[in-house]
Amino acid sequence: MAQKIISFTVQANQGVQATGVHCNNNLRVTCDFDSGTWTQNPATGMHDWSGDGAHAQAAGEFALPGAPEGCLVYYVGGAATKFPAATVVMPNNGAEVQFVINDDLKGVHGAGLADNQGALVLKFTIDDI
């Protein structure tokens, strides 16, 4: 297979979002932030994938407790991980890559995902190993 590049948009007001990208053993899957801003709280303004620095510790009902509120969180086979500043090389475990904003997913502490705004665009690069 020739190199394949896929763009995926993660919406701030939706729960965990499946990308359709699977990390198979014969593929090298990387992901980079491309563009966009979002917010988990319109009162604090828009920000990038790194989250809202004013609310550094998310509570237990968030996608990734202890990580910055509003940061980009990804799952590959179950465990939540904060999206880093550099290119992410996804683990080869056969699982699908999923994304979500780090917010109160059940609305326990307020509006949850309902008041979120914006979206982030990510770029996947998929190569044969």
Specify the pLDDT at position 56.
60
Answer for the pair 46, 118: CB distance below 8 angstroms, yes or no. yes
Domains and CATH numbers, the chain: 4-128 (2.60.120.430)
Per-10-residue mean pLDDT of the chain, 129 residues long, equals 91 97 87 95 92 76 92 90 81 88 91 96 91
Which of 104, 103, 58, 64 lies closest to 84, judged by CA?
A: 64
Residue pair 61/109 in contact by the 8 Å Cβ criterion: yes
What is the structure's pLDDT at 109?
Answer: 83
CA 89/CA 8 separation, integer angstroms: 16
Q: Which tokens belong to 62?
A: 């968030």
Best CA proximity match to 87, nearest among 22, 17, 33:
33
